[in-house]
Amino acid sequence: MTEASLKTAGPFSLWERSIALRYLRARRRDGGVALVSIISFIGVMLAVAVLIIVMSVMNGFRAELLGRILGFNGHLFVTGQVLNDPPGRDAAIARIRAAPGVIQAIPLVEAQGLVMSQGRIAPAVIRGVRRADLERIRLVADNIRPGSIDGFGVGEYGGEQILLGSRLAADMDARPGDAVTLVSPVGGSTPFGTTPRTKAYEVGGLFTVGMSQYDEAYVYMPLEQAQLFFSREQAVDVIEIKLADPDRAEALRGAVARAAGPDATVTTWRDRNQAFFGALQVERNVMRMILMLIVGIAAMNIVTGLIMLVKNKGRDIAILRTMGASRGSILRIFFMAGAAIGVAGALTGVVVGVLFCAYIDPIQGFVEWATGANVFNADVYFLSHLPAKIDWGEVGAITIFSSLMSFIATLPQAWHASRLDPVEALRYE
């Protein structure tokens, strides 16, 4: 390499890249530098992989929860005096179903009660619904195993078959065909006050929606039977509405309110779950900030390797400078040497994180098999499995951020290398 070639080569030219690559190769006398570089690479890789995995799991957790909450419940809810007048209510439901974006409107009776069986007792939320409407709640109707809805809604006042959540049935040791007793806190009146109402029902089937909050606390019974059991006469508690796009609930609230009538009050699923999803969003933002700080700390390890590299290559820097290499060339050489570690670590971390998320179910199964512990307890996390949803926009942002942090960590030492005085570097050589 001649002095003329050094002077005529442009920024990030082939000779600059070749020297930067040579400095990154492990040599016996530079073993300490190579070891620090490997540690820096592993640190960045693990930090980026963990950030992608954690954020993907949190995205999946939110998506799974949201999907089950919106699949089990409605997106808009109508309450008010219109629910107490059957002809007016039926007319309001017909108008609501004709509103743009509405795909389903279901009258419900929903009340608190108790379930008793085999000497056991548990609180429950009891929903009264017509069979035709229950069949439209696909998350429930498609997941009734064992049992079925063949006898649901059949007979006087809708019959006496009910559906139990699978976890609630397990707590009650109840199976399809067994009899369980429901208790309503609102019963008959006596000279001594109101007494609870109790009645035995046959379990027609068990439903599993994959969310413990619902599987262990909900009971479905025919609408007419619920009106009788809870002394509602012909009234209902709410009209539950589902939309083609749940995210448009706020935009469609006004149209549904006009269709329901002046005596109706309309709320959205966001109103009912605002605190829950708000807490999830705060947790997600805080976790992202903490993990990005970890990525930044891992990138700072590159500084240590560059300090040692610049110290060991002081003679080489002096020779390059005397041959005509500019300070900018020296800066770019050491910048590429350090940045390559960070970028390679970031890209490898992306691959590791994406592969981990893609195979998260087998990994969870292996860890549980190896440790004998349940790493994702449904009683704590609501869901029965560990979800992961990769947001490619977020992956791209993580890659850019980690690479940028590597650039920032590299620049000070690269600048220091470019400012070395060749005379001082060669004085004791």
Q: Contact at 8 Å (CB) between 181 and 121? A: no
CA–CA gap between residue 267 and residue 265 (Å, rounded) = 7
Same domain, 348 and 233: no
Residue 251 lies in a domain: no
Domain boundary among 227, 243, 259: 243
Q: Which residue has the tokens 């060339």?
A: 329
> Which pLDDT belongs to residue 12?
64
> Which pLDDT belongs to residue 409?
85
Closest CA to 350 of 49, 28, 31: 49
> Which pLDDT belongs to residue 188?
59
Residue 382 lies in a domain: yes
pLDDT in tens, 240-269: 999 998 889 999 999 999 999 888 899 998
Q: Contact at 8 Å (CB) between 210 and 160? A: no
The answer on pLDDT for 53 being more than 80 is yes
Average pLDDT over residues 347-374: 86
Residue 252 lies in a domain: no
The pLDDT confidence band at residue 328, using thresholds 50, 70 and 90, is confident
How much of the chain is in helix, strand and coil states, percent to nearest 5?
60, 20, 25
Same domain, 288 and 421: yes
Amino acid (one-letter) located at 133: D
What is the helix (H) or strand (E) element at residue 53, kind and residue range? helix 31-72
Same domain, 308 and 376: yes
Q: Which residue has the higher pLDDT, 303 or 404?
A: 404
Beta-bridge partner residues of 78 = 239, 266
- Per-residue burial over 164-200, b = 16 or more CB atoms within 10 Å of its CB, e = otherwise: bbbbbbebbebebeeebebbbebbeeeeeeeeebeee
Q: What is the mean pLDDT of the chain?
A: 83
Same domain, 296 and 410: yes
Residue 256 lies in a domain: no
Among 150-159, 334-343, 348-357, the range scoring the smallest mean pLDDT is 334-343
Among 24-28, 172-176, 268-272, 306-310, the range scoring the smallest mean pLDDT is 24-28
The answer on pLDDT for 375 being more than 80 is no
Q: How far is CA 67 from CA 130, 147, 341, in A?
A: 23, 24, 41
Share of the chain above pLDDT 70, in %: 88
Same domain, 208 and 294: no
Same domain, 310 and 370: yes
Structure tokens given for 254: 């006004």
Same domain, 224 and 289: no
Q: Which domain holds residue 216?
A: 102-243
pLDDT in tens, 205-232: 999 988 888 899 999 999 999 999 998 8
> Which pLDDT belongs to residue 162?
94
Give the strand pairing for 193-194 and 264-268.
unpaired
Q: Which residue has the higher pLDDT, 300 or 128?
A: 128
The answer on pLDDT for 357 being more than 60 is yes
> Which pLDDT belongs to residue 25?
67
What is the helix (H) or strand (E) element at residue 180, kind and residue range? strand 179-184
Q: Which residue has the higher pLDDT, 381 or 22?
A: 22
Q: Which residue has the tokens 């605002």?
A: 274
> Which pLDDT belongs to residue 13?
64
Closest CA to 101 of 252, 258, 260: 252
Same domain, 198 and 299: no
Same domain, 54 and 124: no
The pLDDT confidence band at residue 30, using thresholds 50, 70 and 90, is low
The answer on pLDDT for 27 being more than 60 is no
Cα-trace Rg, the chain:
33
Cis status of the peptide bond prior to 146, with omega within 30 of 0: yes
Which residues are within 8 A (CB) of 102 and not within 5 positions of it... i.e. 6 or more apart?
96, 241, 242, 243, 244, 252, 256
Average pLDDT over residues 41-50: 89
pTM, rounded to two decimals: 0.72
The answer on pLDDT for 179 being more than 80 is yes
The answer on pLDDT for 144 being more than 60 is yes
Domain boundary among 228, 243, 258: 243
Residue 267 lies in a domain: no
Same domain, 61 and 132: no
- How many structural domains are present in the chain? 2
Quote the Cα angle for 405-407-409, to 5°. Answer: 70
pLDDT in tens, 66-102: 888 888 889 999 998 888 888 889 999 999 999 999 9
Average pLDDT over residues 3-21: 63
Residue 289 lies in a domain: yes
Average pLDDT over residues 267-290: 83
Same domain, 235 and 288: no
Same domain, 225 and 359: no
Residue 132 lies in a domain: yes
Residue 249 lies in a domain: no
Domain boundary among 218, 243, 268: 243
The pLDDT confidence band at residue 119, using thresholds 50, 70 and 90, is confident
